[in-house]
Amino acid sequence: MAEEDPFSEAPVITAKGLRKMYGPHLALDDINLEIPRGAVGILGPNGAGKSTLFKCLLGLITTTSGEGSVLGLDIRTQGEQIRSKIGYMPEYNALDPNLFAVDQVRYSGELLGMNSKNATQRAHEVLEYVGLKDQRYRKIETFSTGMLQATKLACALVHDPDILICDEPTNGLDQRARGFMLQTLNRTVREGNRSVLMSSHVMDDVQDLCDSIVMIHKGRIVVQSSIEDLVQQVDKEIEMVIWGGASKMESELSSMGLENRRLGRVIRIKMESESTVEKALQAAVSAGVQVRQMKEYEPDLEDIFLLVMDKLGAQIKGTEDLMTSEHTGGD
Ligand SMILES: Nc1ncnc2c1ncn2[C@@H]1O[C@H](COP(=O)(O)OP(=O)(O)OP(=O)(O)O)[C@@H](O)[C@H]1O
Ligand SMILES: [Mg+2]
C-alpha cells in the first residue's frame, strides 16, 4: 500500500531458522521471529527456552544454526554492539551485595562504555525512575526482592537503550511491587517510546503491558500474534447465569442449533448472529429456567490463548500443561 503507516516499520528483532543446542539437548528449534516496535511478551513455561532466546539475541551465547538480527546487527558477530544498544535485565541477580545501589548502576553504565561523569548522572536519574531515589545510598545486600528487581531494571536502563529485554521482571514480586514494575515498563514504552521484550509465565503481566505475544513451548514458537488479532480469532459468546434446569437448558440450546458450553450455572453460547440473544432467551423459556444474568462474555488472554491453541490442535490441554514446569531435567 502506498499510504504511510506509522506501524509498518521494519521489525527491530528478527530470527530465521534459529536453533540452539546445549550438548545433545535441543533448547531452541527453528525459531522464526519478527518483533515489531512496542511491547512484546514472550510466554512459555519453565524450560521453554525464553532465557536461551534472549541470550542468543544478545549474542551472549552462540547459536547452533540459523541467523538473527537486532536493530539490523548480526547476533552471530555483532553481540557487543547489540548489547551497547539494548538494555538487558537478566533472570538472575548479578548485583554486587557490597555496593551502594548508585555505584552498582554507575558501574553498569561504565561497563557499557559510558564515561564516569555521565554514568554517575544517569545512575541517579534511573534510580529515581525505578522508584529507588531514597535508597540510592543503601547497600544492595539490604534490598528486598522488589528493590533488587528495580535495581536490575535501573542497570538495564542506564545507557538509555532503544530496546529493553527483561527476563521475568516480575518474578518473586508481591502484588504492589509487580504493579509498580509493570507501570514502569509501561511508561518506558508509552512515554519513553522504547521497545520492551518481556518474558513471563504469567499471562496477566503480558496482558497489562504488551501489544503482541510470542509463545514458546518446548523450544518452538507455537503462537506469534498481536493480542488484537488473537482476540479477533475468538468467537464472541453470550454468558448466561441461570437458575434451575441447566442441563435441560443445554439440550434446548443444542436442539436449536446453538453451540454452547456449561460451567455449573453459567452457560456460554456462541454468538452466531444478532438473533442469538433472542433465541437463547426463547430456549430459557422452553427449558423453564430463570435467567439471573446475561451479558457478552469478554475473554481474558488466558481464555483466548487456550482457545487458539485448541484451534491449532497443539498438544496443550490446559493452562497447567502450558504454564507449569516441563522438568526435562539436565539443568
Ligand atoms: N547452560 C545450559 N546447559 C544445558 N542446558 C541448558 C542450559 N541453559 C538452559 N538449558 C536447558 O535449555 C532449556 C531451555 O532453558 P531456558 O532457561 O532457556 O528456559 P526458560 O524458558 O527461560 O525457563 P524458565 O522459565 O525456568 O526461566 C531447558 O530445558 C534447560 O534445562
Ligand atoms: Mg528463563
Model confidence over 84-134: pLDDT tens digits? Answer: 999 999 998 889 999 999 999 999 999 999 999 999 999 999 999 999 999
Percent helix, strand, coil in the chain, to 5, is 40, 25, 35
* Whether residue 225 has pLDDT greater than 90: no
Query: Which own/partner contact pairs does 271-276 have at CB distance under 8 Å and 24+ positions apart?
Result: 271/235, 271/236, 271/237, 271/238, 271/296, 276/238
Take atom 3 of ligand 1 and give the residue whose Cα is closest: 22
- What distance in Å separates the CA atoms of residue 67 and residue 95, rounded to the nearest whole number? 31
Question: In the prediction, which pLDDT does 208 show?
Answer: 82
Domains of the chain: residue spans and CATH: 13-231 (3.40.50.300), 235-297 (3.30.70.120)
60 contacts: CB under 8 Å, gap ≥ 6 = 79, 83
Take atom 16 of ligand 1 and give the residue whose Cα is closest: 49
35 bridge partner residues: 13
* Whether residue 281 has pLDDT greater than 50: yes
From 1-15, 42-56, 101-115, the region with the lowest mean pLDDT? 1-15
Indicate if ligand 1 lies below 6 Å from the C-beta of 200. Answer: no
From ligand 2's centre to the CA of 51, what distance in Å? Answer: 4
Closest among 184, 178, 164 to 38, alpha carbons compared: 164
Question: In the prediction, which pLDDT does 155 show?
Answer: 97
Indicate if ligand 1 lies below 6 Å from the C-beta of 44. Answer: yes
What is the pLDDT confidence band of residue 8, given thresholds at 50, 70 and 90? low
From ligand 1's centre to the CA of 52, what distance in Å? Answer: 6
Question: In the prediction, which pLDDT does 196 show?
Answer: 96
Question: In the prediction, which pLDDT does 273 show?
Answer: 87
With beta carbons less than 8 A apart as the criterion, state whether 235 and 303 touch: no
With beta carbons less than 8 A apart as the criterion, state whether 97 and 140 touch: yes
Give the residue-averaged pLDDT of 158-184: 94
In ligand 1, the atom with minimum distance to the C-alpha of 49 is 18
Indicate if ligand 1 lies below 6 Å from the C-beta of 24. Answer: no
Nearest ligand by distance to the CA of 326: 1
What cell does 41 get?
511478551
Nearest ligand by distance to the CA of 166: 2
From 38-47, 97-106, 123-132, 155-164, the region with the lowest mean pLDDT? 38-47
From ligand 2's centre to the CA of 215, what distance in Å? Answer: 13
Give the residue-averaged pLDDT of 160-186: 94
With beta carbons less than 8 A apart as the criterion, state whether 161 and 188 touch: no
From ligand 2's centre to the CA of 168, what distance in Å? Answer: 7
152 contacts: CB under 8 Å, gap ≥ 6 = 89, 90, 93, 95, 169
In ligand 1, the atom with minimum distance to the C-alpha of 52 is 18
pTM of the model: 0.81
What is the pLDDT confidence band of residue 314, given thresholds at 50, 70 and 90? low
From 28-32, 129-133, 229-233, 263-267, the region with the lowest mean pLDDT? 229-233
What is the pLDDT confidence band of residue 315, given thresholds at 50, 70 and 90? low
* Whether residue 4 has pLDDT greater than 50: no
Give the residue-averaged pLDDT of 206-235: 87
- What distance in Å separates the CA atoms of residue 57 and residue 290, rounded to the nearest whole number? 57
4 contacts: CB under 8 Å, gap ≥ 6 = none
Indicate if ligand 1 lies below 6 Å from the C-beta of 328. Answer: yes
In ligand 1, the atom with minimum distance to the C-alpha of 216 is 21
Give the percent of the chain with pLDDT over 90.
Answer: 69
Nearest ligand by distance to the CA of 57: 1
Average pLDDT score, the chain: 88
From ligand 2's centre to the CA of 50, what distance in Å? Answer: 5
